[in-house]
A = this chain, B = another copy of it.
Amino acid sequence: MRVSELSQATGVPVPTIKYYLREGLLPRGETTTSPNQASYSDEHVTRLRLIRSLLDVGGLSVATVRDVLAAVDDPDTSLHDVLGRAVGTVTATGADADDEHHARARTRLAGLIDDRGWHVSPHAPAREAAVAALATIYRLGLENLDSLADVYAGAAEQVAEADLGSVVQVADRDRRVQTALVGTVVGDALFAALRRMAQEHTSAKHFPPAQDPEQR
C-alpha cells in the first residue's frame, strides 16, 4: 500500500500523513525495494485512525500523541504509564501552584483518597489535575461545589471498575493497551457528553418546562 492509498483509506490528506511521519506519530513504511518507495500495511491504517481519534475526539496535542504512542510501542511500558502520559496534556500548569487554595485543595484530595481507600501514586499526574480543579473552585469562592467531589469520586470508581472489566477481556497485549487508551481518552469525551444530557434531563425533571419555549 502506498501513501495515496493510505490517504484514501483513512481520509487523511497525504501532506498530513507525511507530517505525522516526520513527527514520529506514524512509523515509516517499509522501504524494501528502493529508498523512495515505501509500502504501508493495515497496521498503518489502524494506527492512523487511532491518531486521528486521539487528536480529534480526545483533544490531545500532536506532541502528546507522539509520546503516548511511543509508550504504547514500548513493550516494557506498563499500561498505567501509558495512561499517565495521556492525561499529562491537561495538567502541566506548574505555575503559581502554591497559594492557599492549592494547599486546601491538596488536603481535601488527600482526605478524599483516604476515605475511599484508594491507592494512588504520589506522583500521578491526575493528582495535580484534580488539585488544580479543586483549587479553581475554591479560588472562585464556590464553596458549595466542594461536596460534589465525593459524589464524583464514587461515580469515577464505578466507571473505572467497568473500564478495567473491558480491558481485561482483551488478550492481545497491543490491543489491550489500545483499548485502555481509547477507553480512557474517548471515554472522557463520552462521559462528559452523557453528563451534559443527564444534567438536561435532571433539570427538566425538577423544573418541568412549561411548554418548551424554544427561546434562546
Contact = CB atoms under 8 A, between A and B. Distances in A.
Interface stretch (A1-9, A17-25, A31-39, A195-203): A195-203
A187 B126 contact: no
Q: Which of A87, A189, A194, A203 has the most CB of B within 10 A?
A: A194
B159 A77 contact: no
B193 A130 contact: yes
A124 to B, nearest CB: 6
7 contacts: A113-B197, A130-B194, A130-B197, A133-B190, A145-B183, A152-B162, A153-B198
Given A57-B133, A136-B186, 11 more contacts: A53-B140, A76-B215, A119-B204, A126-B200, A127-B193, A129-B189, A130-B194, A152-B190, A163-B202, A164-B199, A164-B203
B151 A199 contact: no
Contacts of A129: 189, 192-193, 196
A109 to B, nearest CB: 9
A46 B154 CA distance: 31
Contact of A199 (B160, B182, B192, B204): B160
Copy number in the complex reads: 2
A182 B148 contact: no
B189 A133 contact: yes
B183 A152 contact: no
A215 B78 contact: yes
A132 interface: yes
A102 to B, nearest CB: 12
A187 B147 CA distance: 12
Size band of the A side of the interface?
35 or more
Given A198-B153, A200-B124, A186 B53 contact: no
Contacts of A113: 197
A167 to B, nearest CB: 9
A130 B11 CA distance: 21
Q: Which of A118, A147, A199 has the most CB of B within 10 A?
A: A199
Contacts of A201: 116, 118-120, 157, 160
A142 B49 CA distance: 12
